[in-house]
Chain A
Amino acid sequence: MSYAIEVKNLKKSFGNLQAVQDASFTADAGEVLSLLGPNGAGKSTTISMLSGLLAPTGGDASIMGHSVVSEPESAKKSLGVVPQDIALYPDLSARENLIFWGKMYGLRGATLKQRVDEVLEIIGLVDRQKDHVDKFSGGMKRRVNIGAALLHKPDVIIMDEPTVGIDPQSRRHILDNVKALNRQGMTVLYTTHYMEEAAELSDHIAIMDKGRIIAYGTHDELIKLVGRETRIDITINAEGGRVLEAWRSTEGVARIDALDGTLTALVDDSNRVLPRLFDAASKVGVRITSVDIQEPNLETVFLHLTGRALRD
């Protein structure tokens, strides 16, 4: 079977640092695949290899059947890349930027003009097309940043954390755009460390940590990894060490860790386990000051797999 994106045992080392280790995953044509992981997990390195910026140390990847190692030019023609940071010419207008990037993808003449007009519509900047990009807000720049990757109607688009550091309105606009592009048949590889975005957008999710793909599947498949476990975040009025050992031995607690001054527990049934946790705390003289119960989600999955929070 031919995949839109196929990654096989991809490796990348920088000296002694193994940034990506044997990463493998696939994405069918027309699906949204999210690469989810904390900062430094290896997401950007992986997509840098897919987009031809970095040469893999080992393994291979293909875009629409074209190897990024042996047929990089063909692979790039099928690919649109939205970098994590704004990669535009600040002293050119939005339209000038789009025209230039369109030319770099081989568009010319009437086709180029038509696509620039269409993309300006898509990103909602028709009225501001003649303004220099450095006059734009962060969200507007993000939209042009995405638009530049859409001009040649790529089969696959890679978006590297496109919503970092922008306002909720622009974020919503970008997420809606991703869905719209996907509805048009575009395959999207979306990297993020926001589990909500991955949950909302993705057909499949690959969770990455320390250079490895530690889980891959649909949202529901990943949630099933943690079974019926509920996450409970507890804040106490004392040092966590006094109560941690007592809670670890409490029946119904799958695991408990101290994260960012909060004790985070995975439990099988919060209604049943929570009273036991209060009792155990009272016995060691610790008072619980707040409790936050969360149903299983991707954050829970990551915690379950690594013992760390996704945002760490």
Chain B
Amino acid sequence: MKILDIALKDLIRSTRSLFLIGMAFAAPLLITALIYFSFGSIASGNVDMPTINVGVVNLDVLPANSLLEAPLGESIRSMFFDESVQSWIHASDYPDEASARGAVNAQEIGVAVIIPASFTEDYLAGNKDTVITILQDPTLSIGPTVVRDMVTSLLDGVAGGGVAFKVLTERSEANGQALDPATIPTFFETYSTWYANFQRAMFHSPDKAALVVKSPAEKGDTGNNVQSMMGMIMSGQLIFFSFFTGAYAMMSILQESEEGTLARLFTTPTNRTTILTGKFLAVLFTVIVQGAVLLTAGRYLFNIRWGETGSFLLSFMGQMFASVGLATLLVSFIKSSKQAGFVFGGALTTLGMISGLFTANIQIAAFDLMGNFTPQGWVLKAWKLSLAGQPASELVVPFLVLTTMGIVMFAVGAMLFRRRFA
């Protein structure tokens, strides 16, 4: 009963410590909020790509005796009318530059693409003076940039086709083979089909242009990269602040020593194990509450699925044991609360860094290796597995490692405390 009394007293004091509340809840939630405002809408899948109104003036005609079946201008025009871009580009034809310019000025369209009459002939002849004119509404930035990039990309593709055709011709001649003119249209058709698919696959769709994330744990979803990234970032935060909160809460034993209340507790009929266990419980409960708050925030702000229930619980429990164990060990080395800021800041930041907590969304081999020797590294491994949708059976090893680490660190710390206060 006294154990609970001591734990309750410590918890009440914790709720009255602005610093602890700040570091345990406010700081991580503030960072969470910042990330949310930066990526939240993407993570939740609400990508609002504004529709770009494009006017196309295609004056290009196929030169006489051309090997092409259609002028290049038609390829550029058709790109804006392609089915794959209809959700974010609304294209319309204009007969001449004047009418397109008028539409831009009237803000009926945001961008006008004007392809000159001799574009195919000039381009194939290597005439560097040939130009495609792009007119834009000066109040817009993203739409015209996207249109310009699309045109540039297509022309790069045409240039690539030219290079490929030249190489094909030269190699045929070098081998003493004459290129059959009948195969040339087929060659260009094959190349243009490949290039069109390549372009579509790259960014002709907002679903491809922007990363949209759903949890990998969610069955049937595979490409949810941003949400996965948010899960990693949040788990790194969760682990760092959990260890920090544990250490700071455990520091109450040093505060009590300095306030004289620890010595006074020793004068009551309460043994030292009861006192230490009570304080341990308070730290454990604080870490649980803090973790629960951050996990809930991650779930509802970022739609992060932390994993299957069993995996989630093993990760969370492993994290609790390890953070309380490390907290006990760290605080047992500290002589006064004045040293705590330096030691906690240094030790926990260093351990967090080499364990990859601050780069949780990036695979760094050195951190993966060093993480094998730190409790934070193992907690991160556990959360990565859980976030990846692994079953609980895959988390047994990390959980056992973390539990063992927690028990050993707590035992060593408790022994040092008992010696100090013997």
Chain A residues close to B by CB (< 8 Å): 51-53, 55, 73, 76-77, 79, 81, 83, 85-92, 96, 100-101, 103-106, 108, 148
With both chains docked as a complex, state the minimum distance between the C-beta of A31 and any C-beta of chain B, in angstroms.
21
Tell me which of A52, A90, A148 contacts B266 (CB under 8 A). A52
**Contact partners of A83 in chain B: CB under 8 A:** 260, 263-264, 267
**Contact partners of A89 in chain B: CB under 8 A:** 9, 13, 259, 261
Known A76-B267, A76-B268, A91-B17; judge A103-B2 contact (CB<8 A).
yes
Q: Are A81 and B12 in contact (CB under 8 A)?
A: no
Interface residues of B toward A: which range? 20 to 34
Expressed in whole angstroms, the Cα–Cα distance for A232 and B354 within the complex equals: 73
B268 closest partner in A (C-beta):
A104
Q: Are B269 and A81 in contact (CB under 8 A)?
A: no
Q: Name the residue among B2, B16, B264, B266 with the largest chain A CB count within 10 angstroms.
A: B264
Q: Are B267 and A92 in contact (CB under 8 A)?
A: no
**Contact partners of B108 in chain A: CB under 8 A:** none
A-B pairs, top 6 by smallest CB distance, nearest first, are A87-B260, A87-B264, A104-B268, A81-B267, A76-B269, A51-B267
A73 closest partner in B (C-beta):
B269
Judge if B5 is at the interface, Cβ distance under 8 Å.
yes
Expressed in whole angstroms, the Cα–Cα distance for A53 and B264 within the complex equals: 8
Judge if B265 is at the interface, Cβ distance under 8 Å.
yes
**Contact partners of B12 in chain A: CB under 8 A:** 92, 96
With both chains docked as a complex, state the minimum distance between the C-beta of A13 and any C-beta of chain B, in angstroms.
15
With both chains docked as a complex, state the minimum distance between the C-beta of A247 and any C-beta of chain B, in angstroms.
47
**Contact partners of A87 in chain B: CB under 8 A:** 259-261, 263-264
Q: Are A90 and B5 in contact (CB under 8 A)?
A: no
**Contact partners of B270 in chain A: CB under 8 A:** 104
A105 closest partner in B (C-beta):
B268
6 contacts between A and B (CB under 8 A): A73-B271, A76-B268, A88-B259, A89-B13, A103-B2, A105-B268
**Contact partners of A91 in chain B: CB under 8 A:** 13, 16-17
Q: Are A92 and B13 in contact (CB under 8 A)?
A: yes
With both chains docked as a complex, state the minimum distance between the C-beta of B355 and any C-beta of chain A, in angstroms.
34
Q: Name B239-267 residues within 8 Å CB distance of A.
A: 259-261, 263-267
B263 closest partner in A (C-beta):
A53
Q: Are B9 and A100 in contact (CB under 8 A)?
A: yes
Q: Are A101 and B268 in contact (CB under 8 A)?
A: yes
Quick one: CB contact mask for B293-337 with A, threshold 8 Å, 1 for yes? 000000000000000000000000000000000000000000000
Q: Are B9 and A105 in contact (CB under 8 A)?
A: no
**Contact partners of B260 in chain A: CB under 8 A:** 83, 85-87
**Contact partners of B268 in chain A: CB under 8 A:** 76, 101, 104-105
Expressed in whole angstroms, the Cα–Cα distance for A88 and B263 within the complex equals: 11
Q: Are A88 and B269 in contact (CB under 8 A)?
A: no
**Contact partners of B16 in chain A: CB under 8 A:** 91
Expressed in whole angstroms, the Cα–Cα distance for A70 and B12 within the complex equals: 35
Expressed in whole angstroms, the Cα–Cα distance for A73 and B2 within the complex equals: 14
**Contact partners of B17 in chain A: CB under 8 A:** 91
Chain B residues close to A by CB (< 8 Å): 1-2, 5, 9, 12-13, 16-17, 259-261, 263-271, 422
With both chains docked as a complex, state the minimum distance between the C-beta of B173 and any C-beta of chain A, in angstroms.
91
With both chains docked as a complex, state the minimum distance between the C-beta of B306 and any C-beta of chain A, in angstroms.
34
**Contact partners of B259 in chain A: CB under 8 A:** 87-90
Expressed in whole angstroms, the Cα–Cα distance for A101 and B270 within the complex equals: 11
Expressed in whole angstroms, the Cα–Cα distance for A105 and B1 within the complex equals: 12
Expressed in whole angstroms, the Cα–Cα distance for A105 and B16 within the complex equals: 25
Expressed in whole angstroms, the Cα–Cα distance for A100 and B270 within the complex equals: 12
Tell me which of B5, B13, B263, B422 contacts A104 (CB under 8 A). B5
Expressed in whole angstroms, the Cα–Cα distance for A88 and B271 within the complex equals: 19
Expressed in whole angstroms, the Cα–Cα distance for A91 and B12 within the complex equals: 9
Q: Are B5 and A77 in contact (CB under 8 A)?
A: no
Q: Name the residue among B13, B261, B266, B268 with the largest chain A CB count within 10 angstroms.
A: B268
Expressed in whole angstroms, the Cα–Cα distance for A81 and B268 within the complex equals: 8
Q: Name the residue among B12, B261, B266, B269 with the largest chain A CB count within 10 angstroms.
A: B269
**Contact partners of A90 in chain B: CB under 8 A:** 259
With both chains docked as a complex, state the minimum distance between the C-beta of B45 and any C-beta of chain A, in angstroms.
45
Expressed in whole angstroms, the Cα–Cα distance for A86 and B5 within the complex equals: 21
Expressed in whole angstroms, the Cα–Cα distance for A86 and B270 within the complex equals: 20
**Contact partners of B263 in chain A: CB under 8 A:** 53, 83, 87
Expressed in whole angstroms, the Cα–Cα distance for A105 and B271 within the complex equals: 12
Expressed in whole angstroms, the Cα–Cα distance for A53 and B261 within the complex equals: 12
**Contact partners of A53 in chain B: CB under 8 A:** 263, 266-267
Expressed in whole angstroms, the Cα–Cα distance for A104 and B8 within the complex equals: 13
Expressed in whole angstroms, the Cα–Cα distance for A77 and B269 within the complex equals: 6
B8 closest partner in A (C-beta):
A100
Q: Are A104 and B266 in contact (CB under 8 A)?
A: no
Expressed in whole angstroms, the Cα–Cα distance for A88 and B258 within the complex equals: 11
Expressed in whole angstroms, the Cα–Cα distance for A101 and B422 within the complex equals: 21
With both chains docked as a complex, state the minimum distance between the C-beta of B289 and any C-beta of chain A, in angstroms.
19
Q: Name the residue among B5, B260, B261 with the largest chain A CB count within 10 angstroms.
A: B261
Q: Are A79 and B9 in contact (CB under 8 A)?
A: no
Q: Are B265 and A104 in contact (CB under 8 A)?
A: yes
Expressed in whole angstroms, the Cα–Cα distance for A85 and B260 within the complex equals: 7
**Contact partners of B264 in chain A: CB under 8 A:** 81, 83, 87, 101, 148
Having A92-B9, A104-B2, one finds 4 other A-B pairs with CB under 8 Å, namely A53-B266, A81-B267, A89-B261, A104-B269
With both chains docked as a complex, state the minimum distance between the C-beta of B6 and any C-beta of chain A, in angstroms.
8
Expressed in whole angstroms, the Cα–Cα distance for A79 and B269 within the complex equals: 9
A96 closest partner in B (C-beta):
B12
A148 closest partner in B (C-beta):
B264
Expressed in whole angstroms, the Cα–Cα distance for A89 and B270 within the complex equals: 18
Tell me which of B5, B13, B267 contacts A52 (CB under 8 A). B267
A84 closest partner in B (C-beta):
B260
**Contact partners of A103 in chain B: CB under 8 A:** 1-2, 5
**Contact partners of A106 in chain B: CB under 8 A:** 269
Expressed in whole angstroms, the Cα–Cα distance for A73 and B9 within the complex equals: 22
**Contact partners of A85 in chain B: CB under 8 A:** 260
**Contact partners of A101 in chain B: CB under 8 A:** 264, 268
Expressed in whole angstroms, the Cα–Cα distance for A76 and B269 within the complex equals: 5
**Contact partners of A76 in chain B: CB under 8 A:** 267-269
B4 closest partner in A (C-beta):
A103
**Contact partners of A88 in chain B: CB under 8 A:** 259, 261
**Contact partners of B271 in chain A: CB under 8 A:** 73
With both chains docked as a complex, state the minimum distance between the C-beta of A167 and any C-beta of chain B, in angstroms.
21
Expressed in whole angstroms, the Cα–Cα distance for A70 and B113 within the complex equals: 98
B9 closest partner in A (C-beta):
A100
With both chains docked as a complex, state the minimum distance between the C-beta of A87 and any C-beta of chain B, in angstroms.
4
**Contact partners of A51 in chain B: CB under 8 A:** 267
With both chains docked as a complex, state the minimum distance between the C-beta of B253 and any C-beta of chain A, in angstroms.
13
Expressed in whole angstroms, the Cα–Cα distance for A88 and B9 within the complex equals: 12
Expressed in whole angstroms, the Cα–Cα distance for A83 and B16 within the complex equals: 25
